[in-house]
A and B are shown apart, each in its own frame.
Chain A
C-alpha cells in the first residue's frame, strides 16, 4: 500500500505532454483518413462496381440520401439497446446484491446466470421469436447478453471489499444496510463500470443479432433489418451505410460509458487516472 513520495518534477516536459496528446488523437485520425483514401483510390483504379464494394464517398452520399430511412432505423436500434441495457443494469445489480447476501443464494442462482451467458444468443433467438412478439424477443435477446457482464462484475466488486474496512464497519456495529450503501456499493463501482462498458457493446450486438434472426418475421425496422433488406435488393451502398451507423453507435456507446466512468471514478480510482511518471 505504500507509495513513493512524489519527486520534484525534474522530467516535466510541457512540450512532450502536448505532442503526446497530439499523437493520441491525431495519429489514429490520420491513419484512418489514409485508409479511406486508399480504399477510394483502389475502387477508382480497379473500377470495382458499387454492388461489390462501394467507395467511401458513395457510402457517405448514401448515408446522406437515405438519412430519413436510416435515422428512423437507428432510433429503433438505439431504443432497443438502451432499454435492454437499463433492464440489465437493474437486473444485474439487483441480482448481484442478492447473491452477495449469502453463499446459499449465490450457489443456487449462479448456475442459471451462467447457462444464460454461455448459450449463444443467436441460438436462443428463434425460440424466443416463437414464444414472444418479435419486438419483445429482440429486447429480451439484447437483455440476456448485456445482463451477465454487469452481474458478474458487480458481484465481484461487492465481494472484493477491503476486509479491514468490513471489520471497521463491524466494530462500529453498522447494519448490513449501511454496510451495503456506504461500503460495498462504492467499492463495487469501478467493477460495475467496467461491466457496463462491456454490456453497452454487447447490448448493441444482441439487438442486431436478434433482429437478424427475426429476419422477415420481424416487422421491425432497426438497422439490422435494413442490412438484410438492402442485401435482398443488392443495395450494397445502403448496406455499408447501415453498417457504418452500427459501428459509430458502438463507438459512441463505449465513449459515453468511458466518460461516465471517468466522471464517477476520476478523483479516486487508479483505472481512471493517468500514471504519473
Chain B
C-alpha cells in the first residue's frame, strides 16, 4: 500500500457484464506491483479468471479502466488451466511458439528454448510429444512456453488445479524459483487458500456476484519458501487470515 513506486498496472472500477446479462465483475479495484507474486483468491465463478484475461487483453472490460505503468502493456506470458499444448508439435516446438510468432528464427531460438526447458526440468524431453507426457510434465511445458520470452509479467489461471498434490507442491516450488530467477511479476488465480499463501507475497480476495476485490492480505514469509515455511506458525496464521477473508467474501452471497 505504499505509493512510492507506481504499480505495474492499476485496475480502477472495472466491470464486466456479458451479453446474457451475467455480471462477472463490478467495481473491481486492483493494483499489481512490479516484482510481486499476487494471488487472486476466490470461490469459483467470482470473476477472477475474467480479471486475469482482461489483464492479458483477451477480454475487454465494459466499464472502468486498466492503466499500465509507462502507458504500454508489457510482454506477458499466460498459463491456462489446461496445458493447452499443440498435440502435433513436439515439446521443443511448443515452447518455440511464442518466439516463432514474433519472428525469431528456429536457430536463434534454440538456446532460449533449451534454457526454458532446463528451467522446468524437461531438457531431455525436447523431442517428446505432449501425449507422451504426464499431466504435470505437460503443465511444465506450458510454463516453459510462457517464460521463453522472459516476460516481465506472468499470468496464471489455476494452472495446477487438475494436478495431484505431489506434482502441485513440486511445481509450486519450481515456479517460485523460476519467478525469482527471472524477476517476473506473477498474477496467479487460485481457489486454494494454502496454495495462495505458500506462493504469494500478496493475496487479493474476491467476492462473488458481483466479482470484486474485498480485501488484500500481505503474506509475511521468507523470501525463499520451502517445506519449513509450509509447517511454520507464520504460514498457519496467514492461512487463517486468508480463510477468514474468504469466508467473509462468500458469506455475503452464500447466506
Contacts and interface: CB of A to CB of B under 8 A. Distances in A.
Interface of A: 1-3, 5, 162, 164-165, 167-174, 178, 182-183, 186-187, 189, 265, 267-270
Given A167-B58, A267-B129, 19 more contacts: A1-B83, A2-B135, A3-B135, A164-B82, A164-B84, A167-B80, A168-B78, A168-B80, A168-B97, A171-B76, A172-B101, A172-B102, A178-B101, A186-B86, A187-B86, A268-B87, A268-B88, A268-B129, A270-B131
Contacts, number: 59
Contact of B88 (A169, A171, A189): A189
Say whether chain B's binding surface is mostly helix, strand, loop, or mixed: loop
A165 B101 contact: no
- In the A-B complex, list the 7 residue pairs whose CB atoms are closest, starting with the nearest: A164-B84, A172-B101, A268-B87, A186-B88, A164-B80, A174-B101, A2-B135
9 contacts: A1-B135, A167-B78, A168-B97, A171-B56, A182-B97, A186-B86, A265-B88, A268-B87, A268-B130
Contacts of A3: 131, 134-135
Contacts of B53: 167
A167 B142 CA distance: 14
A167 B78 CA distance: 10
A171 B78 contact: yes
A27 to B, nearest CB: 30
Nearest to A173: B101
A178 B103 CA distance: 11
A64 to B, nearest CB: 46
Contacts of B58: 167, 170-171
A1 B87 CA distance: 12
Interface of B: 53, 56-58, 76, 78, 80, 82-84, 86-89, 97-98, 100-102, 129-131, 134-135, 162
Contact of B134 (A5, A172, A187, A189): A5
Contacts of B86: 165, 183, 186-187
Contacts of A183: 86
Nearest to A172: B101
Contacts of A1: 82-83, 135, 162
Contacts of B98: 172
A267 B132 CA distance: 9
A94 B116 CA distance: 38
Nearest to B56: A171
Contacts of A170: 58
Contacts of A178: 101
A2 B162 contact: yes
B226 to A, nearest CB: 26
B82 A171 contact: no
B134 A269 contact: no
Contact of B84 (A165, A172, A182, A265): A165
A33 B76 CA distance: 65
Contacts of A167: 53, 58, 78, 80
Candidate in A1, A183, A187, A267 with the most chain B CB atoms within 10 angstroms: A1
B187 to A, nearest CB: 14
B127 to A, nearest CB: 10
B55 to A, nearest CB: 11
A54 B179 CA distance: 79
B143 to A, nearest CB: 13
A2 B129 CA distance: 15
A275 B209 CA distance: 44
A176 to B, nearest CB: 12
Contacts of A2: 135, 162
A247 B88 CA distance: 34
Candidate in A167, A171, A178 with the most chain B CB atoms within 10 angstroms: A171
B131 A268 contact: yes
A270 B129 CA distance: 12
A171 B76 CA distance: 8
A174 B54 CA distance: 18
Nearest to A264: B88
A170 B59 CA distance: 11
Contacts of A270: 131
